[in-house]
């Protein structure tokens, strides 16, 4: 099943920040967390299928037009279920994968309930922090036509452009968002939102590296370094 799912994902995910390599990193993070988490009982087949298919509906969300909002976690859960049933997997297996995918989104507001869903959530969030998080946040900034840096008052920004506030409020105007704002309003909160001990430890180390980068960037932009 692994090869079939990889083929499906490869043909579907074309965005540079949410491509097959992101899928593979999330997959590796899932395995790492499952192997290192104390007292972790997990169905590895469900976890692997959920990792491979978790962003399958990202293109539909990215291409949604005319104010139409598509949630790739909700739509992706439906698509994953159909894909797995068509590949001959049982209804129960397909539903378990779908339920993990449905709750993987930070801004989705749905809480992961199973161990597989918690691991997928943490594994996916690890890929938005650390050096890989910096690289991906600038890819997204390019895709969304954002500036490199916004030296604004973060509280003012939150008040005017983040419905629901920190850390998982909805962004009103994505073009005004920047990687340093994403870091200050969302990424710093990621370790506290993690569901596994292993994910949290990895997240704290990654966050430290990311914080260092944005501190230096701020000084360079202000001309003091
Ligand atoms: Fe996602
Ligand atoms: Fe993802």
Same domain, 78 and 134: no
Distance of CA 173 from the midpoint of ligand 2 (Å): 21
Flag whether 67 is in a domain: yes
Strands of the chain, DSSP E: 162-163, 170-171
Same domain, 1 and 96: yes
Domain of residue 145 covers 128-225
Record the tokens describing residue 203, joined without a space. 């997240």
Percent of the chain with pLDDT over 70: 99
Flag whether 115 is in a domain: no
How many structural domains does the chain have?
A: 2
Q: Quick one: pLDDT at residue 155? A: 87
CATH number at residue 32: 1.10.3210.10
Flag whether 120 is in a domain: no
Taking residues 57-72, report their average pLDDT.
86
Distance of CA 211 from the midpoint of ligand 2 (Å): 21
CATH number at residue 198: 1.20.58.1910
Same domain, 104 and 168: no
Distance of CA 150 from the midpoint of ligand 2 (Å): 25
Same domain, 84 and 17: yes
d(CA 86, CA 190): 35
Taking residues 19-44, report their average pLDDT.
96
Confidence tier at 24 by pLDDT (50, 70, 90)? very high
Please give the residue that has the higher pLDDT: either 63 or 180. Answer: 180
Flag whether 118 is in a domain: no
Distance of CA 120 from the midpoint of ligand 2 (Å): 9
Q: Quick one: pLDDT at residue 111? A: 93
Which of 82, 110, 138 marks a domain boundary? 110
Q: Which ligand is nearest to the CA of 124?
A: 2
Q: Which ligand is nearest to the CA of 105?
A: 1
d(CA 53, CA 66): 27
Percent of the chain with pLDDT over 90: 76
Same domain, 135 and 223: yes
Same domain, 7 and 99: yes
Confidence tier at 14 by pLDDT (50, 70, 90)? confident
Q: Quick one: pLDDT at residue 56? A: 97
Distance of CA 55 from the midpoint of ligand 1 (Å): 5
Distance of CA 220 from the midpoint of ligand 1 (Å): 32
Same domain, 32 and 91: yes
Same domain, 224 and 157: yes
Same domain, 153 and 88: no
Same domain, 3 and 29: yes
d(CA 141, CA 79): 27
Flag whether 143 is in a domain: yes
Flag whether 86 is in a domain: yes
Flag whether 116 is in a domain: no
Distance of CA 157 from the midpoint of ligand 1 (Å): 24
Confidence tier at 17 by pLDDT (50, 70, 90)? confident
Flag whether 96 is in a domain: yes
Which of 110, 136, 166 marks a domain boundary? 110
> Running DSSP on this structure, what letter comes out for residue 216?
H
Same domain, 207 and 154: yes
Q: Quick one: pLDDT at residue 37? A: 96
Same domain, 8 and 103: yes
* Residue 46: burial class (beta carbons within 10 Å; 0-12, 13-18, 19+): buried
Confidence tier at 158 by pLDDT (50, 70, 90)? confident
Nearest in space to 121 (alpha carbons), one of 6, 198, 204 = 198
Q: Quick one: pLDDT at residue 129? A: 96
Q: Which ligand is nearest to the CA of 58?
A: 1
Distance of CA 159 from the midpoint of ligand 2 (Å): 27
């Amino acid at each position: 099943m692994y090869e079939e799912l990889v083929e499906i994902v490869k043909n579907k995910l074309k965005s540079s920040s949410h491509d097959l390599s992101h899928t593979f990193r999330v997959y590796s993070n899932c395995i790492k967390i499952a192997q290192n988490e104390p007292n972790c009982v997990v169905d590895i087949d469900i976890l692997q299928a959920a990792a491979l298919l978790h962003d399958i509906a990202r293109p539909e969300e990215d291409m949604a037009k005319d104010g139409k909002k598509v949630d790739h976690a909700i739509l992706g859960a439906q698509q994953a279920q159909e894909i797995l049933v068509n590949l001959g997997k049982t209804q129960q297996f397909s539903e378990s994968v779908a339920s993990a995918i449905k709750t993987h989104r930070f801004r989705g507001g749905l809480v992961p309930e199973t161990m597989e869903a918690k691991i997928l959530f943490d594994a996916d969030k690890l890929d938005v922090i650390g050096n890989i998080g910096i690289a991906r946040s600038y890819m997204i900034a390019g895709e969304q036509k954002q500036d490199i840096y916004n030296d604004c008052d973060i509280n003012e920004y939150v008040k005017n452009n983040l419905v629901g506030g920190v850390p998982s409020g909805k962004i009103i105007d994505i073009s005004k968002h920047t990687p340093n704002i994403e870091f200050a309003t969302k990424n710093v909160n990621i370790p506290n939102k993690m569901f596994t001990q292993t994910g949290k430890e990895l997240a704290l180390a990654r966050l430290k590296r990311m914080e260092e980068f944005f501190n230096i960037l701020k000084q360079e932009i202000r001309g003091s370094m």
